Amino acid sequence: MGWAILVHGGAGEWRAEDEAAAVAGVGLAVGSAMQRLAAGGSALDAAVAAVVALEDDALFNAGTGAVLNRDGEAELDACVMSGHDLRCGAVAALRRVRNPVLVARRVMDRTPHVMLAGEGALRFARSEGFEDYDPVTQRARDAWLRRTSASPGTVGAVVLDAAGRLAAATSTGGVSLKLPGRVGDSPVPGAGNYANTAAGCSATGRGELMMRVLAAKDLCDRVARGEHPQAAADALLREMAAGVGADAGFILLSRDGQLGMAHTMASMPHAWWREGEPVPTARMRV
């Protein structure tokens, strides 16, 4: 099996008028990842490129367009992970940067740490040359004033490159009207983002649920034990529904290019492209 790319744009209640743009957005993100692979990039390079494309699209709840906390501020979370060596980097409750996933990648590459949070994460970002940037859009501000959500979910990508390496990247603005300082599953390796030698996973939905069951690692471990990614994702959602709750969605990609995509919420824009397929496929619902 050659390369494969799988992307999601967040599970939740998408407005009907945004659905076409959301599907187009995840399709473009897959294209960004493919271009990075074609230029010789690794699975991690490609996963980050896909997430950057979604962070820069104000429709999605990540980077520009992130939802706001109770104080009317955007606090951003992101995580990257390389499956073949289990290296990872993350940022949490980070403010005023354009692409938190790039800061997370820099944490992985330039520090001995896995996660930086809050003011420390911001100081690190500035020291690495990430300029001040206000990610708050008028749409997010209007939603905050109405005490509603501007857009659902989280964005993420999992990639398999031609060398057989897997990687995952996930980014989010979190929950609309969250308490300042709240951190969800997305920046936590094993909860909302994970990759090992068997699979890569990115989660979306109510983050506290994924944290309680370490959903992303659980799914990758199931694939390592021989389960098909689709069967693993479906099974975990059933188990969560019977236990902690299942307001969740997952994308899961195995080292042999098999896909798993599942969600219990109304919609989850997602797209994929595998070597040998003429064009990417993008859909609003599984």
Amino acid (one-letter) located at 10: G
Closest CA to 137 of 146, 124, 118, 150: 150
5 close to 33: Cβ distance less than 8 angstroms: yes
d(CA 39, CA 49): 12
Considering Cα of 41, then 47, then 49, then 50, what sign does the dihedral take? Answer: positive
Point out the residues that are catalytic: 154
77 close to 94: Cβ distance less than 8 angstroms: yes
Q: Alpha helix locations (H) across the chain? A: 19-38, 43-55, 100-110, 118-127, 138-146, 207-213, 215-224, 229-241
Q: Return the number of other C-beta atoms located less than 10 Å from residue 64's C-beta.
A: 21
